Structure 1
């Protein structure tokens, strides 16, 4: 079977008239390569650890230039879908990898920064994800997970901790709580959402005139969530996590960014 056999007929028609320049109705050449990779992964023909065909072979089969293949590979690398290395035989080539949480975080940070996702919308999604993570953490957290959370709480309580450092430990606490859930998808999505909020939250921390009142409340919320996870109370962990996220956002968000 040729690689082009799995492409939609409309895309094949668009490819027929050009190698690198898009027709008014068709995709650009590197998008043809991306579409082929998408199809192979979604239909189960490519898995983690599999190699893409050699650049020359893939370019010839999809009727695009080798430059288009290289552009597509760079795009896939930025998305965390492939890893490409130079070398002969098993040492080189382009390999399918699992999408790391850092790729999700990077994309979310960019979209939030560009205001494609209004911050209140991000917060609402965060509430749903972190409720799930907290509930799962109460059932599955290991002793090591609990120790990590405890250490972060102690760091946040350190005398003289500045706002930027507090925000780092706050972010790490929520990411660690997600990691304790024992569900990789929930962990990666929760971590990506919380990481995407790191800088917007820090900006609001810096603008607070009531920081000395807000910081102790945030620490208290974290302590209660931790205590619920320690005693295995999933309902309380989920409820306290939602209450914390909503109350924290009310305390730091300007009126225009308040939740509905």
Structure 2
């Protein structure tokens, strides 16, 4: 006989489950109002403080938004779940080594190959101009390492946004942000930062030019080469 013992869920967790189940079933959608605190407590069979704790948890996750308004205009509604909560959660997972950097890199390759292919089809003149402006800013030899890395992140995110796939964009933002500190740590101990910087600039320009030329296959291959080259350089320094 199994000796495993499943602890009963706390009252606030029951409320979270109630909300999640109705989102998954389609009963609650973006903009839907949750029942009033008293009504929700009765429906779930918990106390009002448990409902308040659940709402705070859901707010922190970006699932709901609470507002105060006159004549019943306020309340708690289902939010659009922006990328910030996903970024925060993934950053913590990476920091705690729940996702090895090798695994994160493989997912980055898949996502950014997709983004480059889509961007090569859908890139607008404004989108290409924005990417080139980021490239020009990265050409400044006096940029602090942290600023260069932030612009590097902005470029990869700009490509994903140009691709027009919101899920790919949000995941790219989350993954890239989660890797910010490991990347900075690796770059900070490089013996020849100038050579690394030149390599990154050259690769970035080639990727953007391929997207501008609507050559999706080449852009996808170049971004994979770029990601793997940077990862190989970092892991050779034994920096996660």
What's the TM-score bracket when you normalise by the shorter of the two chains?
Answer: over 0.9
Q: Can you give the 5+ residue segments of structure 2 that lack an aligned partner in the other structure?
A: none
Tell me the equivalent position of 2:12: 30
- In structure 1, distance between residues paired with 2:35 and 2:61: 19
Find 1:125's aligned residue among 101, 104, 107.
107
Tell me the equivalent position of 1:228: 210
Tell me the equivalent position of 2:201: 219
> How many residue pairs were aligned?
236
Does residue 142 (structure 1) correspond to residue 102 (structure 2)? The answer is no
Work out whether residues 205 and 211 of structure 1, in 8 Å CA contact, stay in contact via their aligned partners in 2.
yes
> What is the DSSP-based 3-state SS (H/G/I as helix, E as strand, rest coil) of the residue aligned with 1:131?
helix
RMSD over equivalenced CA pairs, Å: 1.6
> What is the DSSP-based 3-state SS (H/G/I as helix, E as strand, rest coil) of the residue aligned with 1:180?
helix
Q: CA deviation at 1:246?
A: 0.1
**TM-score normalised over the length of structure 1:** 0.87
Tell me the equivalent position of 1:96: 78
Find 1:197's aligned residue among 179, 184, 200.
179
Q: Which has the higher contact order (CA 8 A, sep 6+)?
A: 2
**TM-score normalised over the length of structure 2:** 0.94
Q: CA deviation at 1:254?
A: 4.1
Q: Can you give the 5+ residue segments of structure 1 that lack an aligned partner in the other structure?
A: 1-22
- Deviation track 1:22-75 (CA, whole Å, cap 9, x = no partner) reads x96421111100111111000000010011000111011111111111111111
- In structure 2, distance between residues paired with 1:247 and 1:93: 50
Q: CA deviation at 1:160?
A: 1.1
> What is the DSSP-based 3-state SS (H/G/I as helix, E as strand, rest coil) of the residue aligned with 2:163?
coil
Work out whether residues 58 and 69 of structure 1, in 8 Å CA contact, stay in contact via their aligned partners in 2.
yes
